[in-house]
Chain A
């Protein structure tokens, strides 16, 4: 379905590209918004990324996913913008955390404690590994998509994620042991 839309968009069919825009706008906006504190900037970059994708759709190779190609354009735009504005760009390095499902005060407290533990395990990671974890869990990108987006070999992405997860698990398990004592 998506491959067909992309193919039609490559034939400069605006209607097909409009459907791709509708499919990918929420994901792309979230991808940008979760990294930028400025909602207007996230909107502007979403639009700019789609426009660039439309202009360069001929360069898209069907060997990679349209989503990772589009996110890569957005990622590069974000880095360019960050470079252009130097430190003015409000960059959000934090993760998004889920709200506790239950309203029970005890469970809420437990949830809060667990959140702090996970947060501390994430903070202990190197920034580039943290970004990989974020792409995998928060943006729900596959290994292949992360590899295409960052231009890294698939094996490197897998190895680095395995290492990052190992570190996080070790960090969390040590905290659970302390809590259990």
Chain B
């Protein structure tokens, strides 16, 4: 077996199926024209391939019938997906209601800090045990927390008022429809 045979042997099957690039095809054609060993190898691949193709059914020729409705069903699903995407409102953050949980967390933090402070552990140093936190940072923390608390109180009151107004309107509308 020559070096060329070794080099071209893995390409023989693809050569039979016309899957090689032009250069490779030319090399295999030129070599197999005079190499009896590779000619025999090609014949073996041809015989193997014929048997395999005679036996193996391609998916497109099988008994599995494609349900007639399937394409239409898929297209309908895609259309409804498209419609849903077109009518879906953009995500809006409800800052009024969203403020309540944020403020609750901050309130809990403030309470914890206050308890720690009143406990005496940090009487001399209201900032606590963390040396990196300066007095100014502590002031900023308290100010921000205070502001958030105010925001939460106002947000809750506003939310409650809106709900009451909405309930009143609903009950009025319900009353009208009962009439």
Q: Known: A21-B71, A47-B73, A162-B13. Contact between A14 and B78, CB under 8 A?
A: yes
Q: Which residues of A contact B48 (CB under 8 A)?
A: 165, 168-169, 172-173
Q: How many B residues touch A, CB cutoff 8 Å?
A: 32
Q: What per-residue 1/0 map shows which CB atoms of B72-91 lie under 8 Å from chain A?
A: 01110111011000000000
> Do the beta carbons of B59 and A34 come within 8 Å of each other?
yes
Interface of A is mostly: helix
Given A30-B59, A137-B56, residue A14 in contact with residue B79 (CB < 8 A): yes
Q: Does B64 contact A (CB under 8 A)?
A: yes
| Number of residues from A at the complex interface, CB < 8 A | 44
Contact A21-B53, Cβ < 8 Å, known A30-B60, A169-B48:
no
Give the docked Cα–Cα distance between A159 and B14 (Å). Answer: 12
- Whether B44 lies near A173 (C-beta < 8 A) is yes
In the complex, what distance in Å separates the CA atom of A12 from the CA atom of B79?
11
B5 to chain A, nearest CB (A): 15
Q: How many cross-chain pairs have Cβ atoms below 8 Å apart between A and B?
A: 111
A50 within 8 A of B: yes
| Interface residue B6 (Cβ < 8 Å from any Cβ of A) | no
Does any Cβ of B come within 8 Å of A65's Cβ? no
Q: Report chain B residues within 8 Å CB of A138.
A: 56-59
Instruction: Give the chain B neighbours of A11 by CB distance below 8 A.
Output: none
> Are B13 and A137 in contact, CB atoms less than 8 angstroms apart?
no
Contact of A118 with B74 at beta-carbon distance under 8 Å, contacts A26-B60, A30-B62, A140-B58 already known: no
Given known contacts A162-B13, A165-B13, A95 and B60 CB-to-CB distance under 8 angstroms: no
The answer on a CB contact under 8 Å between B78 and A96 is no
Provide the residues of chain B in CB contact with A26, threshold 8 Å: 60, 66
Asked if A46 meets B70 with Cβ closer than 8 Å, knowing A96-B62, A143-B19, A172-B51, the reply is yes
Q: Contact: A18 with B75, CB < 8 Å?
A: yes
Q: Given A43-B70, A96-B62, do A51 and B56 touch, yes or no (CB 8 Å)?
A: no
A122 to chain B, nearest CB (A): 9
Q: Indicate which residue in A17, A22, A34 contacts B62 across the interface (CB closer than 8 Å).
A: A34
User: Judging by beta carbons under 8 Å apart, are B44 and A98 in contact?
Assistant: no
* Chain B positions within 8 Å of A27 at CB level: 59-60
Once the chains are docked, how many angstroms separate the CA of A96 from the CA of B52? 12
Give Cα A115–Cα B82 distance, bound, in whole angstroms.
48
Residue of A nearest to B75 (CB): A18
11 A-B pairs with C-beta separation under 8 A: A21-B75, A26-B60, A29-B70, A30-B64, A31-B59, A54-B78, A54-B82, A118-B52, A138-B57, A138-B58, A139-B58
The 9 closest A-B pairs by CB, nearest first: A30-B59, A98-B57, A96-B57, A118-B55, A25-B71, A33-B64, A18-B75, A169-B48, A26-B66
